[in-house]
Amino acid sequence: MTDGPLDGLTIVELASDLAGAAAGQIMTDEGATVIKIEPPGGDPLRRADGSRLFQTLNRGKHSVVLDFYGATSVASREELGRLLARADAVIASWPRAQRDAAGADYPAVRARNPAIVYVSLCPFGERGEWAERPSNALVMQAISGLMGAEGKTADGVPTPLVATDMTGRSAGILAALGVSAGLFFRERTGIGQKIDISELAVAAFLQTGRTAEIPAADSRLRNPARDNVRALRAAGASYAAQHAARQAGLPIAFGPFYRGFVTADGAVFVGALSRGLRDRARRAFGTTLLHRDDPRWDPNDAAFVAECRAEEARIEQRFRAAPSAHWVQRCEAENVPVGAVAFPEDLASSPQAIANDYFVPVPDDTARPQQQAAPFIRFGRFPAPSPAGAPTLGEN
Amino acid sequence: MNGVLEGIHVVELSQIIAAPVAGQILADLGADVLKIEPPGGESWRLQAPIAPTESKSYQCLNRGKHNLTLDLTRPEATRIVHRLVEDADVVLINYRPDVPARFGIDWATLSRVNPALVYVDLTAFGRRGPSALRPGYDGIVQAVSGLMAGEGKLRPDGAPAAIASAAIADFATGMVLAQAVVTALYHRECTGEGQLVECSLLATALWLQSAEVTTPATSPSQLAPEGATYAELVQRRAAAAPAVDAHRRVYLTSDGAIVIAVDSADQRRAAAALVGTTEEAIAARMMGGTNDEWLERLAATAIPAAPVLFPEDLSGHQQFAANDWFVTLEHEVTGTQSQVGPLLRCSAVDAPPPRPAPPLGRDTDAVLRALGYRDDEIAHLAERGVIGER
């Protein structure tokens, strides 16, 4: 357990998904005691992918095994009831039927512990046709529009995002916020409550620039493209046709000033988003290409576009001819935002991560320390946290 | 009461995405959030503007706030901030690490003004290290944190392409900042103590990839021959990932695309019975029906499945209507709009009614009058450029 602002608080975690587990992890990183209730076979993530994900998401927690469906179901419900009666908060992301089977729906919990903070994660919300449907990261990526918007395909078939479970982790952070907000309110008033969060709504907010509708901004490109896609669907057109129609509604993004470049020994990303920054990038790249700053700028003029692309190809060649360090130095000398592209596996040895103590040793289940990403909030009143390892199944 | 944070005053000195997201979440929870911007407005107002100092991006990330324009390079502006901080609960700030002290708005200075202050500070890459003073745009953070290479998108020339569907490091960090503020407020409620709280885009980005960055780990450069290109490293890394599962992937239908993603042996049996066992067989079967037909069949089973939609589809989706997640607002300058509303629903209190983002400088006069400035003093500050738009 770590010493932190939530020291002394007990939180019961009823989660077999990533969002609930992530919320519980943020709570242990902040000093709370988190009791994760697992089924007899253990949390599903224990079995997946060498369980690095399980180990990082569940560091510092306690594990209690309860079985609400078998021979010990009555005793299990009683045990959970006792834990909930003493808890300060609950993170509940089990499906409704599972909460009911465990006697862990909010009315039942509140009856025994009226001041409890009950944070409820329902992936599709509490109402509507999808409310009881099963969710997971792939399903959420698809229905939320993230996968379609990312536009990765293999042979014309959409493929998922893989770098991180954006919506699961974001919902987890907000659930942790819900616990803290409920605790703050309770400290002021003595009153507990239920706080609801839906991963699908969170996903819509992550893409608010695309999901929001502001006619002054959207009437020229976004809305006509949206209407075209609808018309194509109504006519039974293919996914490929719909995707192409959507692309037509996006601002054109080409040019050498906000993109990645291959270098002699890796890759860099340059981000010049204003006229001033683009002028400095021109000096760094050794180009006079004006691109969108050219008074002749016209993305529909094929000859103009071809001219721009030809110069961009020459810039690409220049990048390939020198190492990443050379280009980072050139861009930094001109104050152009730039970064060398790193692989996740290399971050623990990056000077920037080391200088800021962004990795912390955590025992794994063989008591050999791993270096894990450190708790992402540093509270000045408390020493830097040193998280304990993830629990073995039912160890508490 | 209006929200669990009713009565909490937040002074927000922020720009672009992450810290503004935090301020908006706090406003949605009932806090009084005052965003301080330079004359001319913060840069996100100028991102694809729809009116001189209004953009869609700004209006979706600054809902419910008040707005004051100050030129922080002027000592009188610093005094105004100090007066605001005397009565504030929270300062939420994102600047390069060396900047706040120059303006007299660093933690050391403001905690002397208000010892119970919760001061939540965001930097791009952390306060120390070779990149501490570097600008942290989303693409740069993606690059240096591993997110870009982890996603593995390649341009036609083999160069890295950024994740495009969401500025995830920025948005997740905004949520982290809000959680940091409220947790520190909880601590203060228990102890009376304020504190300095620090977050960074990089720290959040590492957490987003918590499994992938954990060591010991094999660097892709160790999997490939000396001198391998970026694209080759990406491909080596992808080859080490599990092979595609026929029952956990997207299939095209005659008029769309559907993801089937089983999580159990039972679900896999049901999927095999409904659509088949091999990718080729399933693909052929799915192409023989429409999205609606297949979704109806799948909905009658326990198989996790969903259509591949676009974000523009969500506001018209029945699940969003059923749960009232969109709010319709009237913006003073650009008129009617609809956007995703508050993300936390709290049972103990009414939520504050959502309000649109503030036009630039709308509340400058009101804020200064509330501090005790007379109208002639305010006019004088404006003439001298200490305050900007009003």
Boundaries of every domain in chain A: 10-204+355-373, 214-247, 258-341
> Which pair of structure tokens corresponds to residue A57?
């998401």
* CATH code at A258-341: 3.30.1540
Domain boundaries, position B222: 209-239
Q: Do A344 and B149 touch (CB under 8 A)?
A: yes
As a whole number, the mean pLDDT across chain A is 95
Co-location of B65 and B148 in the same domain: yes
In this predicted structure, what is the pLDDT of residue A367?
59
Q: Do B345 and A141 touch (CB under 8 A)?
A: no
| Residue A54, min C-alpha distance to chain B (Å) | 8
Co-location of B181 and B214 in the same domain: no
Confidence of residue A254 (pLDDT cuts 50, 70, 90): low
Co-location of B338 and B217 in the same domain: no
Residues of A in contact with B28 (CB under 8 A): none
Q: Which residue in A166, A222, A356 is closest to B312 by CB distance?
A: A222
Average pLDDT over residues A10-14: 98
Query: Does residue B4 fall inside a structural domain?
Result: no
Residues of B in contact with A157 (CB under 8 A): 249-252, 257
Average pLDDT over residues B118-146: 95
Catalytic residue among B170, B263, B266, B375: B170
Task: Evaluate if pTM is beyond 0.95.
Answer: yes
Please name the residue ranges forming H helices in chain B. Answer: 18-28, 56-61, 75-86, 99-102, 107-113, 138-145, 147-151, 168-191, 201-208, 210-213, 220-223, 230-239, 265-275, 279-287, 291-299, 318-323, 364-370, 375-383
- Cα–Cα–Cα angle for B209, B211, B216, nearest 5°? 120
pLDDT over threshold 90, residue B287: yes
Q: Give the count of domains, chain B.
A: 3
Q: How many CA atoms lie within 13 A of A86 on its CB side?
A: 10
Looking up tokens 């089924």 gives A39
| Residue A76, min C-alpha distance to chain B (Å) | 24
Q: Which residue in A139, A198, A370 is closest to B323 by CB distance?
A: A198
In this predicted structure, what is the pLDDT of residue B81?
98
pLDDT over threshold 80, residue A368: no
pLDDT over threshold 90, residue B376: yes
- Cα–Cα–Cα angle for A92, A380, B190, nearest 5°? 60
Query: Does residue B66 fall inside a structural domain?
Result: yes
In this predicted structure, what is the pLDDT of residue A248?
85
In this predicted structure, what is the pLDDT of residue A365?
62
Query: Does residue B388 fall inside a structural domain?
Result: no
> Which pair of structure tokens corresponds to residue A250?
């996006």
Co-location of B231 and B263 in the same domain: no
Chosen for mutation from A94, A239, A257, A364 (greatest number of chain B CBs closer than 10 Å) is A239
Q: Which residue in B129, B182, B345 is closest to A355 by CB distance?
A: B129
Residues of B in contact with A351 (CB under 8 A): 129-130
- Indicate if B170 belongs to the active site: yes
Co-location of B49 and B151 in the same domain: yes
Query: Does residue B24 fall inside a structural domain?
Result: yes
Co-location of B363 and B255 in the same domain: no
Question: What sign does the dihedral B340-B24-B139-A283 (CA atoms) show?
Answer: positive
pLDDT over threshold 90, residue A252: no
- Among A42-56, A163-177, B188-202, B252-266, the minimum mean pLDDT is found in A42-56
Q: Do B252 and A157 touch (CB under 8 A)?
A: yes
Cα A285 to Cα A28, A304, A311, A339: the distances in Å are 47, 20, 11, 15
Q: Do B311 and A207 touch (CB under 8 A)?
A: yes
Average pLDDT over residues B237-242: 89
Q: Do A128 and B318 touch (CB under 8 A)?
A: yes
Q: CATH code at B188?
A: 3.40.50.10540
In this predicted structure, what is the pLDDT of residue A1?
45
Query: Does residue B228 fall inside a structural domain?
Result: yes
pLDDT over threshold 60, residue B74: yes
Average pLDDT over residues B82-102: 96
pLDDT digits 0-9 by tens, B12-65: 999 999 999 999 999 999 999 999 999 999 999 998 899 999 999 999 999 999
A250: exposed, middle or buried (Cβ count in 10 Å: 0-12, 13-18, 19+): middle
**B119 or A254, which is more confident:** B119
Co-location of B165 and B281 in the same domain: no
CA distance A267 to A339: 9
Co-location of B220 and B282 in the same domain: no
Co-location of B78 and B197 in the same domain: yes
In this predicted structure, what is the pLDDT of residue A366?
64
What b/e sequence results for A118-145 when a residue is b if at least 16 CB atoms lie within 10 Å of its CB, and e otherwise? Answer: bbbbbbbbeebebbebbbbbbbbbbbbb
Instruction: Give, as one character, the DSSP assignment of residue A211.
Output: H
Q: Do A358 and B126 touch (CB under 8 A)?
A: yes
pLDDT digits 0-9 by tens, B104-114: 999 999 999 99
A10-204+355-373 classified as CATH 3.40.50.300: no
CA distance A238 to A230: 12
Residues of B in contact with A340 (CB under 8 A): 143-144
Residues of B in contact with A257 (CB under 8 A): none
- Among A262-271, B197-206, B232-241, the minimum mean pLDDT is found in B232-241
In this predicted structure, what is the pLDDT of residue B240?
86
